[in-house]
Amino acid sequence: MRFTVNDQVFDIDVDPGASLLDLLRRLGFYGVKNGCDNGDCGACAVLVDARSVTSCDYPARAAEGKRIVTVEGLAPSGSLHPLQAAFLDTGAVQCGFCTPGMLISAVELLEHNPDPSESEVREALRGNLCRCTGYTKPVEAIQLAAARMREVDHD
Amino acid sequence: MITDYLRPTSISEAFETLTELGPAGRLVGGGTELAIHPPADVSTLIDLSAAGLRFIEADETFIHVGATSTLTDMLEYARCATSWSGVVHTMLRQVASPLHRNAATIGGHLARGRLSDVVPTLMAVDATVLFFDGEHRSVPIVDFYADNLKRNTIVVTGVRIPLDDGEAAFRKFARTTYDLATLNTAVGIRRTGEEVTWARIVVGERPTLGMPLPEASELLVGKPLTSDSIARASQVARDTVDVRSDPRGSAEYRRHLAEVLVRRCLSEIAGEEVFA
Amino acid sequence: MTDQFNVVGQSERRVDGYALVTGKPVYAGDLDLPGMLHVAVLGSPHPHARIVDIDTSEAEELDGVAIVLTHQNTPATRYTTAGQGFPEPSPYDTRMFDTKVRFVGDRVAAVAAETIDIAREALSLIKVSYEPLHPVLSIDEALADRAPIIHDEDDASGIWDAEHNIAGAVEANVGDVDGALQTAYASVEFTGETQYAQHAPIEPHVSVAYLDDNGRLVLYTSTQVPFHVRRIMAQVLGIPVRQIRVIKPRIGGGFGVKQEVLIEDLVGLVTLRTGRPSRLELTRAEEFYASRTRHPMRVTVRLGAGADGMLQAIDMQALENTGAYGAHNLTVVSNTGSKTLPLYNKAPNVRFSGRGIYTNLPVGGAYRGYGATQGYFPLEVAMDMLAEQLGMDAVELRRKNHIRVGETSPIFEELGEGRKGVPQTLGSSSLDQCINIGAERIGWADKRGKRHREGPWVHGVGMSIHMQGSGIPAIDMAAATIKLNDDGSINLLIGATDLGTGSDTVLGQIAAEVLGVGLSEVIVLSSDTDVTPFDTGAYASSTTYVSGNAVRRAAEAVKNQIFDVASAMLKTDPESLHLEDGRAIADDGRSVTLSEVALRSLYGADQFQIGATASFVGDVSPPPFLASFAEVRIDVETGKLEIVNYVAAADCGTAINPRLAEGQVEGAIANGIGYALMEEMRFDKYGRMRNPDFGRYKIPASTDMPPLEVILVDSYEETGPMGAKSIAEIGINAPIPTLANAIYDAIGVRLTHPPFTSEKIWRALQNS
Ligand SMILES: Cc1cc2nc3c(=O)[nH]c(=O)nc-3n(C[C@H](O)[C@H](O)[C@H](O)COP(=O)(O)OP(=O)(O)OC[C@H]3O[C@@H](n4cnc5c(N)ncnc54)[C@H](O)[C@@H]3O)c2cc1C
Ligand code: FES
Ligand code: FES
């Protein structure tokens, strides 16, 4: 089956019973985390054709022909996506285990809504459970990144 | 154990494969259920994504939603946010999370039926389920579940929401904002002038499948919506709904919630100020 | 205060941040080794049973199975899984695999196989015959006459009274409590019963073991206590400490549940026996019922006061459910008193008694708050009841009675962690300002007692105040090593374990501050038992204070060495030097860079490695303080509660990294709100957990969190590094009493059993 992950093309055999989470981790995309294996926590979120989904309950084979983006693909190596930078600047990362999934949800949000309100950000993060931060700083980070990205677009 | 993953390119092909395989075959919409908990006897997954069922469109009289449209597709479809007081949109925003709605399909959701905010709402807006069992068929959603057609070997192909001047409201009561409902209620009415000509009160997550309450609904028909008729219908809803206990709530609490939430739905439709 | 610092007091980016936000494979579960075996564990289906027979032959024959472990082929040593200092104050009542199972999910067997699927399939082929015993599913059943004895083995040690299912007991008494209560002008009594709850770190426990080239066992594991893991592993497996190396990579959250040696022994033994790498990751369900939980408690508080509101007596009686094993039972229940009672030091008569009780339910362990959470609920509700009885404002009553700088409490000395404590005089506190700020921000004066209504909603406000500690005095030891590199950069090696708290960053900032460099010059390594010096680990709010002091000392020693070299280079007195911007600068303005200093010490003259290791043990445990306020509204028709606003003002001394410190309070409050409103492990009548997933066991999601304002109110703790105290735990104690008091303010009912669900509130309204 053919698909791309972070613009890298794969053409490989995929176990028909595997989840996309298993497949991606097996391929070395360890930024995709397993927090519950049950569709509840969002740690495993990835973009499939620009939509964020939980990969643990997404059949791997359903990704055939699709473009997948994981946290590793958000920015070229050595640089940071504005969301990643904002997460660091605001202290939105504690243990970091939920962070890849949150970033993925945030990427999709800002794609559709470059200036989200606090409650829109919270809605967008609803499927990303975080036990460390209480969400205050991740929400702040996403709004900060949005503001920075709008500024860049403006210039 | 899953040993095969197929992608039929038409509804009939999907149906034939399903029929051939019997219990060993399972359709996949979003797969959110199957990827984690495939039943032990299932060996083949039949992915519907290539069967041409991902569309939402409207004509004069209906919104047509193809079965592999995601809940997000529906949420983002403008007519879902305007027809029937925008109730489908309001409800979908409260379903799980964006991560889940981006994958889950309306077909998978309807085929599963239980644990749903969607089914009661679609009942309240008088929707029709479309399916294929060798032939293309359509049945009102209420009958689809009353007759337990989802048990049959079928491919759900879509759902149709009538576009008329119906009005509706939905309430989800849950322990947290990210939980299945402890109880939900959806109410749809049609009016001519002030007079209610059609009404449907549905209570879901009791904790079982959405249940229309004809007795309570009938009480509203043939007269305007008044605080009196609203109160009476809510009480009858409370008295006639079938409820059970589970860890999300006791039967007694659910029965009480049914009254409060039905009343709030009706008050909202009547244009009263509802604070919750 | 903090303006005297350059790096301390700044919200620096985390030193490990880049790796975390870019998804680098930095967690234990990301280590994928060739030939690695996967381990799965068979848990008991019975709450209480004897294992009569285990037949593993079919499982062993399954293709791909490497080894099956049961009580028949594993060490019988009794130990405690509690990752505490030696000798542990927890009973040795646990075996790797026992002949008796004591809760549903208790270990029966483990399989290591080529894949996890094979390992799980093999589990289903193990035939176990059990002799079921009568299960004990509550504290009351455990204490009843002729209750079944849960720990009837004869080789356990350290159990207080096994025959009566009492794992541990602790008492403290100052003055004459009964007499004072009898003569008090006003007195109240309240019993609060907290529920089973789980830490729910998003990363479950995961460990990987392998043998290095010399045949030593290396454990790469998600732990808060690498040095305790090494010691306890040696004890359980019967191998010398020197044969074991424990590496703690990045950890996906712990909150106490990883202060336990829970799975390392299994991968360790599999790898020792097979010579192959092995990996075990708990499933989410196992994380819930088979790792560790908060100890549920029933705590009764009685207060007596004079007409002026001055407390005369406090009595606190705690019954703690420790579950099937006694891990942490004694210390947790001790803390229920020791971390709460000194807050109200005006009471001359104070009594505490705590008992840890065995049941056939999941096992309690360390959990953020560590007993204080369970004690603050009844204490702070009782304070509100007392205020009401005295006709006094609840805030005012607390102001009159709380401890102040320069004061002490006899409880500091009477009650420590499972033994006597140490006397201490309070050196720093901004609690008064915290209370004032919190009351102001929530609008206390305008809202309390007003029951503002809108539709079915009724509003109420509530508050509570808290203290915790900073490490366990005279027990918790931390050490740090610092060395200077050629380019003037600094290696900071610490055994302290950053489990997401940001302690690597905070400790790096302390080192950078002392050495006059930017944080980017500090290379932080934590923790590897082969490389980093000893540290008891991340628990008891110890890292910033205890480990921070060790880092400061090591940095001071390195600074003196730098001065020695620089003074020789500049031909001046060491006393005339100071460090700034990566240079040693003399009074007259001449300077050398740290790189020049390093190069001279390494290559130039009188060569030596500039570097030092220093240790720290606290004589005292300076408490952080917190004032917590919330406004709630309750839908009186459904019982639904919404938090309108939450304000927490906290004193952590100097906030070394304010954003990280705020984050600790925010996270702890969120976790506490979960515990107060939604979280509860539920069991059926066979002792099986009914909700072991996030679909049914709810923790707060982003949309569940109310507007939350956290305000840090600086104080300066002379004994702390740069004036700092620890802050990671305290916030979790607040939401239960704050919200219970707010609920009472809104609707006049006192709830006794969290979580305060809509249905419970609705029922209370029906009955009132
Ligand atoms: C974490 C989580 C939270 C949830 N929260 C909510 C909530 O808040 N509110 C709510 O309403 N629902 C909720 N759900 C339910 C969820 O919306 C449904 O599980 C989901 O819609 C199923 O869609 P799917 O496309 O992924 O189904 P699938 O997993 O693909 O299929 C589900 C079942 O239907 C069958 N099937 C699929 N497509 C068809 C078809 N076209 N014709 C016939 N049979 C078919 C499959 O064989 C399978 O048996 C939640 C689910 C999860 C996992
Ligand atoms: S691991 Fe996929 S949602 Fe938790
Ligand atoms: S930062 Fe730890 S779970 Fe979110």
pLDDT band at C4 (very low <50, low <70, confident <90, very high): confident
Query: Is the Cβ atom of A42 under 6 angstroms away from ligand 2?
Result: yes
**Of B111, B143, B162, at which residue does a domain stop?**
B162
B275 within some domain? no
* Contacts (Cβ under 8 Å, ≥6 apart) of C232: C79, C80, C81, C83, C261
pLDDT of residue B45: 96
Among the partner residues C457, C640, C701, nearest to B178 by beta-carbon distance: C701
CATH superfamily, domain C31-133+202-253+258-290, is Aldehyde oxidase/xanthine dehydrogenase, a/b hammerhead (3.90.1170.50)
- Whether C564 shows a pLDDT value over 80: the answer reads yes
Q: Taking residues C462-479, what's their average pLDDT?
A: 93
Domain shared by B88 and B154, yes or no: yes
Task: CATH number of the domain at B37, please.
Answer: 3.30.43
Q: How many CB atoms lie within 10 A of CB C690?
A: 12
Check if B176 contacts C (Cβ < 8 Å).
yes
Report CA(C668)–ligand 3 centroid distance (Å): 12
Quick: pLDDT tens for C662-707.
999 999 999 999 999 999 999 999 999 999 999 999 999 999 999 9
CB B198 within 8 A of CB B170: no
E strands, C544-640, are 577-580, 583-586, 591-593, 611-617, 625-635
Comparing C39-43, C467-471, C631-635, C703-707, the range with the smallest average pLDDT is C467-471
Does residue B198 lie in a domain region? Answer: yes
Of ligand 1's listed atoms, the one at least distance from the Cα of B29 is: 30
* C245, β-bridge pairs: C218
- Number of domains making up chain B: 3
The answer to whether residue B213 sits within a structural domain is yes
DSSP tag of C276: S
For C492, phi then psi, to 5°, come to -115, 115
* Closest partner CB to C704 (pick from B177, B273, B274): B177
Closest-CA distance, C644 to chain B, in angstroms, reads 14
C-alpha neighbours within 13 Å on the C-beta side of residue B118: 26
Q: Do A123 and C703 touch (CB under 8 A)?
A: yes
Query: For the residues of C317-340, what is the DSSP string, one character each?
Result: EEEEEEETS-TTHHHHHHHHHHTT
B42 and B91 belong to one structural domain: no
Give the DSSP per-residue string, C445-481: HHHTTT--EETTEEEEEEEEEEE--SS-TTT-EEEEE
Nearest to C128 by CA among C68, C41, C50: C50
Structurally, at CATH architecture level, domain A82-154 sits in: Orthogonal Bundle (1.10)
pLDDT digits over C220-259, tens only? 999 999 999 999 999 999 999 999 999 999 999 999 999 9
Q: Which residues pair with C303 in a beta bridge?
A: C188, C314
Candidates B88, B111, B120, B96; CA nearest to B208 is B120
What are the φ/ψ torsions at residue C284 (nearest 5 degrees)?
A: -60, -40
Which of the two residues, B61 and B1, has the higher pLDDT score? B61
**Nearest-CB residue to C456 (from B97, B176, B275):** B275
C522: Cβ contacts below 8 Å, ≥ 6 apart: C15, C489, C490, C492, C508, C511, C512
Which residues lie below 8 Å from residue B140, measured CB to CB, with a gap of 6+? B126, B127, B128, B129
Which atom from ligand 3 is nearest to the alpha carbon of C253? 2
Residue A54 forms contact with B (CB below 8 Å): yes
Domain ranges of chain A: 2-73, 82-154
Find the chain B residues whose C-beta atoms sit closer than 8 A to any C-beta of A: 1-5, 7, 28, 30-36, 38, 45, 47, 49, 70, 72, 93, 96-100, 102-103, 177-178
Do both B119 and B37 map to the same domain?
A: no
C691·B256 Cβ contact <8 A: no
Taking the CA of A33 as reference, the closest ligand is 2
Q: Is the CB of A19 under 6 A from ligand 2?
A: no
* Phi, then psi, of A3 in degrees rounded to 5: -165, 165
- Specify whether B171 is located in the same domain as B261: yes
Q: For residue B121, what are the domain limits?
A: 56-162
DSSP per-residue codes, C79-134? B--B--SSSPSS-B-B-SS-SEE-STT-EEEEEEESSHHHHHHHHHH-EEEEEE--
Cβ contacts of A64 on chain B, cutoff 8 Å: 7
Q: Which strand ranges, in their side-by-side order, compose the sheet holding C591-593?
A: C577-580, C583-586, C591-593
Tens digit of each residue's pLDDT (9 = 90 or more) over B171-217: 999 999 999 999 999 999 999 999 999 999 999 999 999 999 999 99
A54: left (phi over 0), alpha (psi -120 to 50) or beta: beta
Task: State the pLDDT confidence band at C3, using cuts at 50, 70 and 90.
Answer: low
Q: What is the architecture of the domain spanning A2-73?
A: Roll (3.10)
Residue B276 lies in a domain: no
**Do B64 and B33 belong to one domain?**
no
pLDDT the model gives residue B37 = 79
- ipTM confidence score: 0.98
Same-domain status, B198 and B239: yes
Beta-sheet strands, E only, within chain B: 4-6, 25-28, 44-47, 56-58, 62-66, 128-132, 136-140, 155-162, 167-173, 183-192, 195-204, 211-212
Rounded CA-CA distance C45/C363 in Å is 16
Q: Does B155 lie in the same domain as B177?
A: no
Q: Which residues of C touch A74 (CB under 8 A)?
A: 22
The CATH number that applies at residue B206 is 3.30.390.50
- Measured between beta carbons, which residues in chain C are less than 8 angstroms from residue A133? 663, 666-667, 670
Interval between CA A98 and ligand 2 midpoint (Å): 10
| Per-residue pLDDT at C1 exceeds 90 | no
- CA nearest B38 in A: which residue? A17
- Residue A57: nearest ligand to its CA? 2
* Residue where one domain finishes, among candidates B162, B186, B205: B162
Q: Which region holds residue C362: left if phi is over 0, alpha if psi is between -120 and 50, else beta?
A: beta
The neighbour count for residue C607, using CB atoms within 10 Å, is 9
Structural domain spans, chain C: 2-26+477-617, 31-133+202-253+258-290
pTM over 0.95: yes
What is the dotted CATH code of the domain comprising C2-26+477-617?
3.30.365.10
Contacts of B102 in chain A (CB under 8 A): 48, 51-53, 108
Three-state DSSP state, C202: coil
Least confident of A135-144, B47-56, C409-418, C433-442: C409-418
When CB atoms are compared, the residue of A17, A51, A127 closest to B2 is: A17
Q: Which of B27-41, B238-252, C166-180 has the lowest mean pLDDT?
A: B27-41
**Strands, E assignment, C268-324:** 278-281, 297-305, 311-323
pLDDT level of residue B113 (50, 70, 90 thresholds): confident
What pLDDT score does C448 carry?
98
Q: Which of A29, A94, A97 sits opposite C502 (nearest CB)?
A: A94
- Name the residue type at position B236: V
On whether the CB atoms of residues C260 and C365 are closer than 8 A, the answer is yes
Mutate to test the interface with A, among B28, B99, B105 (most CBs of A within 10 A): B99
Q: Which residue has the tokens 């006639």?
A: B240
| Phi, psi values for residue B73, rounded to 5° | -55, -45
CA nearest ligand 1 atom 37, residue = B108
User: What's the Cα-to-Cα distance from A54 to each of A20, B246, C24, rounded to whole Å?
Assistant: 9, 27, 19
User: Domain for residue B218, yes or no?
Assistant: yes
